[in-house]
């Protein structure tokens, strides 16, 4: 398969490359690095990248930003970061990718553990993750041509605990390599409309 991987240079992205790259062609797409430049906050950038890539069999997104801050200090602009980036960025990857993806292809998006297990200062992440998961379930019943869509919801990563441990006290971290298996299940499997939780 020809797989477009958005966020290939990140922690999860590198693990996905290692997992799927052994069996498939990976086209790395990112705002600063990769085979093609793609900014998920910019629909024009997404459309341009897809035209450069041509036809493909799958899109995997392991990118997306949200703003972490205590609820009392959050503003509409802070919430807009996650809404524009992680939520609508991934939605637009699907909507704009429909004209380039092959029949029977798949989209795999990323949410996260905070959908169900919120933390202090994580309200934006919880909101966005929940919206992504609900949208994937709805989109799955309408996608044409046998196209599938799923979402992976990883827990906090072992590799990220140095940075995020103070937020995730009591959480058991998961290695990125285990999270990558869920992306493999989505891309190489047959299910659609699923949330693969990696805890």
| Domain spanning 2-198: CATH superfamily | NAD(P)-binding Rossmann-like Domain (3.40.50.720)
What lies within 8 Å, CB to CB, of 51 at 6+ separation is 100
Average pLDDT over residues 54-70: 97
Please tell me the predicted confidence (pLDDT) of residue 36. Answer: 98
Pairwise CA distance, residues 133 & 177, whole Å? 22
For residue 75, give both structure tokens.
Answer: 């503003």
Query: pLDDT tens for residues 17-49?
Result: 999 999 999 999 999 999 999 999 999 999 999
- What is the per-residue pLDDT across 110-131, written as a single tens digit (0 to 9) for each? 999 999 999 999 999 999 999 9
pLDDT for residue 43: 98
Q: How far is CA 119 from CA 92, 134, 165, in A?
A: 28, 20, 12
User: What's the CA gap between 139 and 152, in Å, rounded?
Assistant: 15
Confidence bin at 84 (pLDDT 50/70/90): very high
3-state secondary structure of 152: strand
According to the model, what pLDDT value does residue 151 have?
98
pLDDT interval class at 198 (50, 70, 90): very high
Q: What are phi and psi of 7, to 5 degrees?
A: 90, 30
Beta-strand pair 101-110/56-61 = parallel
Q: What is the pLDDT of residues 168-185, one digit of tens each?
A: 989 999 999 999 999 999
Q: What is the mean pLDDT of the chain?
A: 97
Q: Looking at residue 170, what DSSP letter applies?
A: T
Average pLDDT over residues 91-113: 98
Q: What is the pLDDT of residue 112?
A: 97
What pLDDT score was predicted for residue 16?
Answer: 98
pLDDT value of residue 80: 98
Task: List the chain domain ranges.
Answer: 2-198
Element (H, E) at 150: strand 148-154
């Amino acid at each position: 398969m020809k797989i477009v991987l958005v966020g290939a240079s990140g922690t999860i992205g590198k693990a996905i490359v290692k997992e799927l790259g052994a069996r498939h062609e990976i086209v790395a797409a990112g705002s600063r690095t990769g085979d093609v430049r793609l900014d998920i906050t910019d629909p024009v950038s997404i459309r341009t990248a897809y035209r450069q890539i041509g036809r493909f069999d799958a899109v995997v997104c392991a990118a997306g930003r949200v703003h972490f801050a205590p609820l009392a200090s959050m503003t509409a602009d802070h919430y807009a970061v996650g809404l524009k980036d992680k939520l609508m960025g991934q939605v637009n990857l699907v909507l704009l990718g429909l004209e380039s993806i092959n029949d029977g292809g798949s989209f795999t998006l990323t949410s996260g553990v905070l959908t169900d297990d919120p933390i202090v200062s994580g309200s934006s992440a919880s909101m966005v993750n929940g919206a992504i998961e609900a949208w994937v379930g709805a989109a799955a019943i309408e996608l044409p041509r046998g196209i599938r869509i799923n979402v992976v919801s990883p827990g906090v990563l072992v590799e990220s605990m140095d940075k995020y441990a103070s937020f995730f006290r009591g959480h058991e971290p998961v290695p990125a390599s285990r999270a990558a298996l869920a992306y493999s299940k989505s891309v190489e499997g047959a299910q659609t409309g699923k949330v693969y939780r990696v805890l």
